[in-house]
Structure 1
Amino acid sequence: MAISRLFRREKLDSYLSSDKHFAKTMSAKDLMSLGIGAVIGTGIFILPGTIAAQYSGPGIVLSFLLAAIVCSTAAMCYAEFASVLPVAGSAYSYGNLVFGEIIGWVLGWALILEYVLAVAAVANAFGAYFKSFVAGFHLTIPTAIAGPFDPAHGTYGNLVAILVVFFISWLLNRGMRESMRINNAIVIVKIAIIILFVVVGAFYVRPENWHPFAPFGAAGIRRGAATVFFAYLGFDVVSSSAAEVKNPRRNMPIGIIGTLVVATVLYMLVAIVLTGMVTYTKLNVADPVAFALTLVHQNWTSGIISLGALAGMFTMMVTMIYSSSRLIYSVGRDGLLPKFLGKIDSQTGTPKHSLAVVTVVIAILGGFVPLDQLTNLVNIGTLVAFLFVSFGIIRLRHLPEMPKNTGFKVPFYPVLPIISGLLCFYMMLQLPAETWIASTIWFALGLVIYLTYGLRHSRLNDQA
């Protein structure tokens, strides 16, 4: 086998021709809603408190800002790619177009890991959160259907997790226009609940709680930034939708960078108010926002926060299930997975086959498998994609056959893409050894599938 076969590159025209069957219905507002839905989850009600208590103190607000600056370097690289190459598949397709098929496959395999595990873990948490939420109304979900398959502890499956995954899939199958209306409405509810906390909490802020501002010094703020960095992951899923966007050259950069800006502002506002309401030393609890509200006798708001957490998880699942179905479609489109996955329904303009497969896999994982130990794999899958997208900008600009970019361009080229790639690599080194071992097994499995199936069935073989 010639090594050159592994690095064959797809032609942009071929992708554009395949993806033209998608219905182009999404605006910049829809993209920001999609991105905010993915990035702002339950973490906004937890991380500002726990990280402040452990690492940053009230300086957590600077930790969020620092993490956002780091993320923005990768976000700008994604924005340029999405502006120049408006195709489905995000980093998978970018890798195929600028590096070659095997790099594209590795990135696609990394993203499958990110999307599927992330949604399954959130679906699992949604089921647990929903159980405690309805308990407040004196409704009980039987233990047997309220947890992963673990007969020793009396649980046989998380029914709520399974049902919410199938409901979201049904929603997405009806077409993006209707799905985005519902997603946009829930994102507005989620933001409104966050703003409600900020406004109510602001009346109980005591400035003395902000002193000392950085009790653990600059090192604590940096460590806090490294920890909350993962709270921003998810903006990259916006680029999966490029083939369904009206005027992608203008709207994709707005959607990607706008998501990061809004998320940063919301995280920082919650951090400022929370550490002003309660001294940081008391915030190392599982639900710091609800805890702070209870301390100031605003118990009614705690129920609202629970609703906000459920809304956050729901929109995150909508975005990730949507993105994973587009990713699997893209890999099937190229023949690296069975080609029926790369078909688009002519009536709804959605990839029904890939959505169905993704739904079943996520429902099984989220409903029956305990995923607590696997969530770090989500981070490494994301960072691998970030790394290649960052350095890929340099390659993109040097390929003469790529379209001339009249849309968004990464500033301070080539310094900023290089900094972005190095920062992503640094963040990967912060992950524990067991994550590296598990991910090595995952990527080895991916290479076996590619070499035994993908390489032989690739549609690039027809162009040879």
Structure 2
Amino acid sequence: MSLFRKKNIADLLRGGEGNGLKKTLGATDLVLLGIGCIIGTGIFVLTGVAAAKYAGPGIMLSFVLSGLACAFVALAYSELASMVPAAGGAYTFAYVTMGELVAFAVGWALVCEYTIGSATVAAGWSGYMVGLLKSAGIMLPTMWTTVPAEGGIVNIPAVLITGFLTYLLILGTRESVALNRALVFIKLGCIGFFLFVAAPHVNPLNWQPFLPFGWSGAVTGAAIVFFAYVGFDSVATAAEECNNPNRDIPIGIVGSLAICTVLYIAVAAVLTGVVPYSMLNNSEPVAYALRSIGMNFGSALVALGAISGITTALLVFLYAQTRVFLAMARDGMIPQNLVKIHPKYGTPHIITLIVGGGVSVLTGLLPIGVIAELCNMGTMFAFILVSLGVGVLRKTQPDTHRPFRCPAVGVIVPLAVLLCGYLIANLSKETFVFFIIWLAIGMGVYFSYSRHHSTLGKVQYDE
């Protein structure tokens, strides 16, 4: 059996028949879904830390560099998502373009991205909520808010928020999207307020020197803040639940990325203009900047925006992971009996419970921060393969209908690959080691189980 057997687009579109998902999402829902996942702790915390330690005021260039890499990838994603409006995102695209083994590797990398991302985000939510309750005079026992490695027993708040959002995802995509929409508007309002009140206090002298750590500092900063962009690809996993995926998916991917990039650069510019970059290495740089100009209620504002942002990011991470698993289960990469659609809610409830349970264990008991960079690595690995897949499909299936065509594909695809590769090269050696181990485990799963249970393999064998 070939390791690189491919699915054709017609097979993928028929894959959901009998266990398909309800079509409930429009273009606006997808843009807000992307914003919900992209804007989380990155804009409230990561901006200040990366500026103080790596890039200085050049953090603006770091966001431009990361955003540019994501923009090229987004155009590639948009072409494939419009052609293959099925659940699974990058995993599904790889199955069409480069075959089963590569598809499994991409799917395994997405498990790394979404699962570790979810656990990291849930831990961040717990930290903000505990801090907010503390400021209100409510002290939670440390043993129930930290993991064993940090002297606690279990991180209960992280487990509870994961459980609540898992339950919401089981109830239905429309209900989850309604919560996402409300929280996105809250966090966008907080960001807008910060820009409005802080911009008049910008001192251009704080931007000098612009690159105190040199160009290499800006590039390292870009590799770090890349985590702030993780999530726009999750829009592609919602293709099967779109009313008009050929039109709406490209709008959702490109639209959410464009909005978030502008906001990131604006916040970075105002933050480093109001406060000297060296003073931003703290857990609440935005609140610190507001206090420096006399806005002492900054902490409450940032806490509200951050909690809203982290909640939506966790919601979309969990959602995307369930859709990737759904696609893999349909293809026999993982047990097919997991493909159960709830008769009332129209959601993959068994897979959702498994994902929610797994994330709860990770975030409740393990020190996730140690391997959080794996999320970046898994994401960029998938981005590179998806971008290459666009070029491959242009060669192998040039006449296939493309509702959205990536412009200047001969330029965009190589730039996407090169920029993502450049950012990967700036990650730590430990991250490379962890990721190689993760891929090795995945290959063990594929050769011991998935290859022999592949739906496509059985079809080709029967023929």
TM-score band (shorter)? over 0.9
Which among 190, 195, 198 is matched to residue 198 of structure 1? 195
Residues 127 and 285 of structure 1: CA distance in aligned 2, closer, same or farther (over 3 Å): closer
What displacement does 1:207 show? 3.2
- The answer on whether the counterparts of 1:190 and 1:311 sit within 8 Å (CA) in structure 2 is yes
Task: State how far apart, in whole Å, the 2-side matches of 1:434 and 1:223 are.
Answer: 15
Task: State how far apart, in whole Å, the 2-side matches of 1:448 and 1:400 are.
Answer: 32
Percentage of matched positions with identical amino acids: 40
Task: State how far apart, in whole Å, the 2-side matches of 1:385 and 1:239 are.
Answer: 13
Q: Partner of 1:339 in structure 2? A: 336
Residues 402 and 164 of structure 1: CA distance in aligned 2, closer, same or farther (over 3 Å): farther
Structure 1 stretches of 5 or more lacking a match? none
Deviations 1:33-56 (A, max 9, x none): 111111111110223323333343
Following superposition of structure 1 onto structure 2, how do residues 142-291 of structure 1 map, counting pairs within 5 Å? 142-150=141-149, 153=151, 155-291=152-288
May I ask how many residue pairs the two structures share in their alignment?
458
Residues 380 and 400 of structure 1: CA distance in aligned 2, closer, same or farther (over 3 Å): same
Task: State how far apart, in whole Å, the 1-side matches of 2:243 and 2:457 are.
Answer: 32
Following superposition of structure 1 onto structure 2, how do residues 51-130 of structure 1 map, counting pairs within 5 Å? 51-130=50-129
- The answer on whether the counterparts of 1:331 and 1:342 sit within 8 Å (CA) in structure 2 is no
- The answer on whether the counterparts of 1:50 and 1:285 sit within 8 Å (CA) in structure 2 is yes
Task: State how far apart, in whole Å, the 1-side matches of 2:40 and 2:59 are.
Answer: 18
Matched AA of 2:255: G
Task: State how far apart, in whole Å, the 1-side matches of 2:37 and 2:121 are.
Answer: 11
Matched AA of 1:80: E
Which among 437, 457, 460 is matched to residue 456 of structure 2? 460
Matched AA of 1:19: G
Task: State how far apart, in whole Å, the 1-side matches of 2:367 and 2:399 are.
Answer: 44
16-25 or 222-231, which moves further after superposition? 222-231
Deviations 1:37-87 (A, max 9, x none): 111111102233233333433332233223211211111111111111111
What displacement does 1:218 show? 4.3
- The answer on whether the counterparts of 2:69 and 2:415 sit within 8 Å (CA) in structure 1 is no
Structure 2 stretches of 5 or more lacking a match? none
Q: Partner of 2:347 in structure 1? A: 350
Which among 428, 435, 440 is matched to residue 432 of structure 1? 428
What displacement does 1:104 show? 0.7
TM-score, length of structure 1 as denominator length = 0.94
Task: State how far apart, in whole Å, the 2-side matches of 1:56 and 1:127 are.
Answer: 28
- The answer on whether the counterparts of 1:340 and 1:353 sit within 8 Å (CA) in structure 2 is no
TM-align CA RMSD:
1.7
TM-score, length of structure 2 as denominator length = 0.95
SS in 1 for 2:25: coil
- The answer on whether the counterparts of 2:226 and 2:376 sit within 8 Å (CA) in structure 1 is no
Task: State how far apart, in whole Å, the 2-side matches of 1:106 and 1:303 are.
Answer: 43
SS in 2 for 1:357: helix
- The answer on whether the counterparts of 2:183 and 2:312 sit within 8 Å (CA) in structure 1 is yes
Q: Partner of 1:328 in structure 2? A: 325
213-222 or 39-48, which moves further after superposition? 213-222
396-405 or 259-268, which moves further after superposition? 396-405
SS in 1 for 2:393: helix
Task: State how far apart, in whole Å, the 2-side matches of 1:215 and 1:444 are.
Answer: 40
Task: State how far apart, in whole Å, the 1-side matches of 2:148 and 2:217 are.
Answer: 40
- The answer on whether the counterparts of 2:169 and 2:319 sit within 8 Å (CA) in structure 1 is yes
Residues 408 and 128 of structure 1: CA distance in aligned 2, closer, same or farther (over 3 Å): same
Q: Partner of 2:293 in structure 1? A: 296
Deviations 1:345-371 (A, max 9, x none): 233221111111101100111111111
- The answer on whether the counterparts of 1:128 and 1:147 sit within 8 Å (CA) in structure 2 is no
What displacement does 1:275 show? 1.7
Task: State how far apart, in whole Å, the 2-side matches of 1:400 and 1:463 are.
Answer: 22
Matched AA of 1:43: G
- The answer on whether the counterparts of 2:73 and 2:416 sit within 8 Å (CA) in structure 1 is yes
What displacement does 1:216 show? 4.3
Task: State how far apart, in whole Å, the 2-side matches of 1:113 and 1:439 are.
Answer: 9
- The answer on whether the counterparts of 1:396 and 1:402 sit within 8 Å (CA) in structure 2 is no
What displacement does 1:214 show? 3.8
